[in-house]
Chain A
């Protein structure tokens, strides 16, 4: 009798839970993520295709795009060099303080972007910065200019590459490098022909994450830039500025471009994840 009851209850509860849980999950994600994302698309085309295309005539938008691309083009290679150096230095070595060093590298992820920008202002501002005097006497302009904004982007994005490559290198071990070295390869050859190919997918993954974040960074760049239209405005800053000026069309147009970049990066990321998973599955057979 009891077991029959339990059987009935089980029969009753399980199918309802297996419907209810995805339903709740789907509703929550729809309200918090999916609908807002669709809103950008519909907002951008609210008045049809032509007004949307007219947005791209804006000279300020062009300059914002150029600025964003230039900063990304500096930040991504710089962070890739750092990430690979840090990974080869740290990953396969045990030393006291290793966990601490890894946390230090992760630090920018937990610091508010606004605080990152503030730190740069307190360092390089000509009037109030720690190095303000030196910066001024050298005639450099860092704050309210592209070098500061690029530096802000670099700080916010530098952990991505190191973080993706380090665990993979740890897993791989030294064997192949040692084999290459005993066969007479130089350290550069070992790096280019053994280490780098073995982590290429992680590097690609890191590149995608770094680029996506560099293109979209807002808070840190906002503090440092001064947001001067046509000069120090990046694409994300342009979106906010246009929105604040009630130039809604333009804001949506620029947001759709940025959002499209985000979406592409997401798709690329999923693709690379699939390849990595595929590689893991075939590896034991080799």
Chain B
């Protein structure tokens, strides 16, 4: 009996193992080949081109007055937009999770619209509604003398539009998982609603808020389609860095385009690290609620 089993069992053991190995190696092969063609090759080309510029010239091209002015708009204004969304995003998430009101589901689906709407459409819509004869632009101009479209204000609005969903969608699940008992306990112990909010609720939401703000910021910095249509694209006024790259390419100034593109790429890599770090921190919070 044992002798009849002996030759069969290694075959039986190997059979399920071998196809699984073959299958995995195929999926790995496709994965690596695809990543190489689609991601590593273009990234490598850009890194090589940037390295060929040389450090001194790189620094010069990266810090021309024109480039610095666009960084102020792209990195500075995007930060303001992301922070504004940090505040309103929490309010919206709170409304969606904790309040019941007419139109809650509509609000919920509207939040996804900036993800779903092609950026060219968003740009067209924002540029015309905030133009001096648009639905919102006209009253703003009449009441406050504010011009929004074709100024840096409009660029800021477009950045707010594009980065809003990130905070809401990042905070929502954490808020949902939050135990109401903690807030009730804080209340019973005599905490005011403000103390409860500041000392019990917000600290637990903080990693999610920051992760959402960082994601929105990263998106707003890189955004092109919706911003380019509401911006006047005048250097030193409301020109964003991505548009400057395109202008440099149109002038056949490849080194400037490469260097400025590299600055943006490095920003993306750093922000990716920060976002991942914040998400790990958030998971840590979820694991051990305070």
Taking Cβ atoms with an 8 Å cutoff, the residues of A that contact B are 10, 13-14, 17-19, 21-22, 24-26, 28-29, 31-37, 39-40, 43, 81-82, 84-86, 88-90, 93, 99, 103-108, 110-116, 118-123, 128-131, 151, 154-155, 158, 178, 181-182, 184, 186-188, 190-191, 212, 215-219, 222-223, 235-237, 239-240, 243, 251-252, 255, 258-259, 261-263, 265-266, 269-270
| Docked CA distance A121–B261 (Å) | 12
* B-chain residues with CB within 8 Å of residue A19 when the two chains form the complex: 101
* A-chain residues with CB within 8 Å of residue B224 when the two chains form the complex: 112-114, 218-219, 222
Are B157 and A113 neighbours in the complex by a CB distance under 8 Å?
no
- In the complex, what's the smallest C-beta–C-beta distance from A208 to chain B, in angstroms? 9
Q: Could you jot down 18 A-B contacts, CB within 8 Å?
A: A18-B99, A25-B96, A37-B125, A39-B129, A39-B134, A106-B272, A110-B218, A110-B269, A111-B222, A113-B225, A118-B249, A130-B48, A158-B38, A181-B20, A190-B19, A219-B225, A236-B121, A255-B124
User: Mask for B1-37, Cβ within 8 A of A = 1, else 0?
Assistant: 0000000000000011001101110111011001100
Q: Classify the interface of chain B: helix, strand, loop or mixed.
A: helix
Tier of interface size on chain B: 35 or more
Segment from B39-47, B60-68, B198-206 that makes contact with A: B39-47
| Total CB contacts across the A-B interface at under 8 A | 277
- In the complex, what's the smallest C-beta–C-beta distance from B188 to chain A, in angstroms? 11
| Docked CA distance A166–B92 (Å) | 29
Option from B92, B225, B245 in Cβ contact (under 8 Å) with A28: B92
| Docked CA distance A243–B117 (Å) | 17
* A-chain residues with CB within 8 Å of residue B128 when the two chains form the complex: 39, 43
- In the complex, what's the smallest C-beta–C-beta distance from B194 to chain A, in angstroms? 9
- In the complex, what's the smallest C-beta–C-beta distance from B253 to chain A, in angstroms? 10
* A-chain residues with CB within 8 Å of residue B26 when the two chains form the complex: 85
Q: Which residue of A lies closest to B222 (CB)?
A: A112
* B-chain residues with CB within 8 Å of residue A265 when the two chains form the complex: 116
Taking Cβ atoms with an 8 Å cutoff, the residues of B that contact A are 15-16, 19-20, 22-24, 26-28, 30-31, 34-35, 38-39, 41-46, 48-49, 88, 91-92, 94-96, 98-99, 101, 103-104, 107, 109-129, 134-136, 157, 160-161, 164, 193, 218-219, 221-225, 228-229, 241-243, 245-246, 249, 254, 257-258, 261, 264-265, 268-269, 271-272, 275-276
